[in-house]
A and B are shown apart, each in its own frame.
Chain A
Amino acid sequence: MTVAIRATDLVKSYSQGVRALDGVTLEVNSGEVLVVMGPSGSGKSTLIRTFNGLETLDGGALDVLGVSLDATHGERQVLAIRKRVGMVFQQFNLFPHLSILDNITLAPIKVQQRAKASAEQRAMELLDQMGIREQAYKYPAQLSGGQQQRVAIARALALDPEVMLFDEPTSALDPERVKEVLDAMRQLAKGGMTMVVVTHELSFAREVADRVMFMDRGQVVETSDPETFFSNAREERSRRFLNQMQH
């Protein structure tokens, strides 16, 4: 099995000496779904943002799809990774001035130099896959949160990424809209996509994750298969967190 992401002893500190990441080591295999859980401020968002260079590192070594990102990496490495790693944000971050179709085709046309017609055809396929084909010519403000987030997923998929990063993709959604986004992600996982998902959705983690990683205060507390994690977590800290989540 090939390793998609290998992180060794990652350190990231903020100005007040707070360590957002305090020696994080992990591996993500190709085709694997890793769910990262933890209380807010535990460093889980910071962690996945280092995977595509949105956050710089203060120490440690990171290897993403064979490209190394350490404290001294340059623009070129970051760009090389971003072309192969997709990301979905909590707040969708669609481009409000572009139609749904243009949101999705912008990067394929401008970054990959694909022809407009083929990029649009691919975008329509992806919208179909997300179940929102009829929204193609609308603008983001005209869509519900769940629809916008599915557009964001389609936009990331349009570059044919090898890894997808999800940063709390359902946290900004109304409860009744969460399912449609999770369903899209389930489908993606079934297709064999390598995924790192930061989420509080326990049922999604239980059902889809290959492994669950629990973080607290910038450190990895434990990494287990979902069965073990949810019924019989090794660490006291994880059990406390799960107890709070379930009540």
Chain B
Amino acid sequence: MNRWLDRGITLLLLALLGWAGWSMLHWLLLGADWSVVTTNLPLYAVGSFPADQRWRPLLWMAALITLTLLTLVGPKHGWLRRWLPLFWIVMAPLGLWFLAGGLGLLPVGTRSWGGLTLTLLLTGGSGALALPLGILLALGRRSDLPVLRWSSAAYIELMRAVPLIAVLFFGQLLIPLFLPPGLEINRVLRALVAFALFAAAYIAEDVRGGLQAIPPTQREAAAVLGLSPRQSLQLVVLPQALRVALPSLTNQAVGLLQNTSLMAILGLVELLGISRSLLANPAFIGRYLEVYLWLAAVYWLACTAMALLARHLEVQLDPARSAS
């Protein structure tokens, strides 16, 4: 009796799924007009970067993809393996510099930056800035100096109490006030800094969790070997704490990537910004579904790559792995 009910429910669910799948397929093959995506691929990739300079963001993204693949495959050569972390660290700053007109190339204002390039630059740049800041805040929160401890805690609590979009607006309006007159930093950099300041508070809490997981006996063992408190932190405690915090840090990184879409509200034309401006174009009116599906696919791809990298790193750092 129960079995018949189970079968009935299964059949019903299958029918529903089949119907949904069929209509989706039908729309994808016959109803959808993908020209809004196909004709604008360059825009999605590099924004309105000058056509003759497009090779610069494209080259940077190719380098990023190469680096990702290389890391996942795990290079055989010892020196390449050693240099990989360094490559990751310099990737975002190098990108900013290369796009802005480093190496004596034609300077290109950030107004023309956009698309996936901008999304990745914002994610990478703010992440690279937020991680060390977050670690410092986490250490500050556990410091013996009351002033340092209180100010770190206050900063973290404050940042977590304010919505990201408010921080981003503050960043656009406030950062220029702190700079000497005449010196102006551009919108992209301002957004990047505000974004990093926000993310650092969350990263700090993840790192603090990692630090708490390391038993005090590890510090003792380091101390009796004559390591200074700084060496003990740097060589014994932090590497273990970051390993513990890695799953939550991955979460933050994925969140960082998704949240770059908020910059569209500030007028930056990253992935979402491009999409919104395309949808405002009379030629592509009403193509919401195509644009947002495409957008979802791109974000999904980028997030999956990040998740794979993080998983790879976790396995690499697993203390119980067999020696290779």
- Which residues of A pack against B, CB within 8 Å? 52, 54, 79, 82-83, 85-87, 89, 91, 93-97, 99, 106-107, 110-111, 137-142, 155-156, 159
Contact = CB atoms under 8 A, between A and B. Distances in A.
Given A106-B235, A137-B323, A139-B323, A97 B317 contact: yes
B223 A54 contact: yes
A235 to B, nearest CB: 32
Task: Describe A's contact surface by its main secondary structure.
Answer: loop
A95 B218 contact: yes
B221 A95 contact: yes
Given A97-B243, A141-B319, A110 B220 contact: no
Contacts of A106: 225, 227, 235
Interface of B: 217-218, 220-228, 231, 235-236, 239-240, 243, 317, 319-323
A86 B223 CA distance: 11
A110 B227 contact: yes
Given A95-B221, A97-B243, A142 B226 contact: no
A137 to B, nearest CB: 4
A89 B220 contact: yes
Contact of B225 (A82, A96, A137, A140): A82
A110 B235 contact: yes
B228 A79 contact: yes
Contact of B226 (A83, A89, A95): A83
A89 B322 CA distance: 26
A111 B231 CA distance: 9
Contact of B227 (A111, A139, A156): A111
A79 B320 contact: no
B223 A139 contact: no
B240 A96 contact: yes
Nearest to A52: B224
B27 to A, nearest CB: 52
Contact of A111 (B226, B239, B320): B226
B226 A79 contact: yes
Contacts of A87: 224
Nearest to B324: A137
A142 B218 contact: no
A141 B217 CA distance: 16
B221 A141 contact: no
Contacts of B321: 139
Contact of A89 (B217, B227, B243): B217
A194 B226 CA distance: 19
B221, B226, B235, B317: residue with the most chain A Cβ atoms closer than 10 Å = B226
A139 B320 contact: yes
A111 B221 CA distance: 14
A52, A91, A110, A141: residue with the most chain B Cβ atoms closer than 10 Å = A110
A165 to B, nearest CB: 8
A95 B220 CA distance: 11
